Amino acid sequence: MTLPRTWDLFGGTHLPHRLLLLARMMDRATMQQLQENFALTLAEWRVLAFICSVGPASAADIGGAFDSDRAEVSRAVKRLVEAGLIERNSNEHNRKRQIISVLPEGQALFERARKMRGDYFAAILQDITEAERDLLNEALSKIALRVTEQRNSKPNSC
């Protein structure tokens, strides 16, 4: 197996390109796995995974957690409600904001999908030691903090 042709497009020092490319590769594999095994889109999986892991939440909370746009989250929520996996309830503190919570069938599907996702991640990380994982996690956290800092200080720059 080989890396995508564009892996070295900007050289080994252009880490953002490689991170983006790797994320897209993983998203494609995830989309295929979720669609084939659970008839879920990636956005639907993220909604389901969030409320099953964190608890009931608003669509804005879910979108913020995944840096997703509102329309994508809204479509995913609508589809999951129609499938009988989640429900929307009124928020007693804010009538405009509904709270999304999981139904038993959604929780069961989440557990099955989470097991499959765990197996996938174990397979793709099998060649990385625990120390390397810790170092990678630390480095990614530092990058994410800088991205957040840049986004907050210069909203119109890239």
What are the chain's domains?
Answer: 32-126 (1.10.10.10)
Neighbours of 33 (CB within 10 A): 18
HEC readout, 93-137: CCCCCCEEEECHHHHHHHHHHHHHHHHHHHHHCCCCCHHHHHHHH
What does the pLDDT look like over 28-82, one tens digit per residue?
999 999 999 999 999 999 999 999 999 999 999 999 998 888 899 999 999 999 9
Question: Who contacts 87 (Cβ-Cβ below 8 Å, separation ≥6)?
Answer: 81, 100, 101, 103
The dihedrals phi and psi of 115, each to the nearest 5 degrees, come to: -60, -45
Confidence of residue 118 (pLDDT cuts 50, 70, 90): very high
pTM over 0.75: yes
